[in-house]
Structure 1
Amino acid sequence: KKNGDDGSGNPIEIPKRTTPAKGYELLFQPEVVRIYTSLLKESKNPSVLEAAAGAIQNLCAGRWSYGRYIRGKMREEHGLPLLAELLNYNNDRVIRAMSGAMRNLATDNRNRELLGLHAVPHLVANLPGGQNQPGRALSEETVVSILSTLAEVLGTNVESAKILREKQGIERLMLIIKDGKSSEREVRAARQVLQLVWAHKELRRPLEKDGWKKADFINPIPSSTTNGPSTRTNGTYEDSTVPLLDRGEKRDVIPLNDLGSEAYSTLDQRERRHTLDEPTDTLQKN
Structure 2
Amino acid sequence: MENISTTYTNFILVGLVEMESFRFLYALLTFAVYSASFVVSFMIVYVTWTEESLHEPMYIFICGLVLNVMFGSSAYLPKLLIDLLYKNATISLSGCLFQAFCMQSYAAAEVFTFTAIAYDRYLAVGHPLRYPTLMTNLTCQRLLLAIWVFVFIGICGVVFLTARLTFCAVNINNVYCDTMSLLRLSCGDITVNNIYGITWTLFITISPMLVIIYCYIRTIVICFKLPGEASQKAAQTLVTHVIALFIFLVGAMFIAFRYRLSSISLSVTAHVVISMSGMSTSITVNPLIYGLRTKALRIRIARNLQNIFGNSK
TMscore range, shorter length: under 0.3
Quick check: which has more Rg, 1 or 2? 2
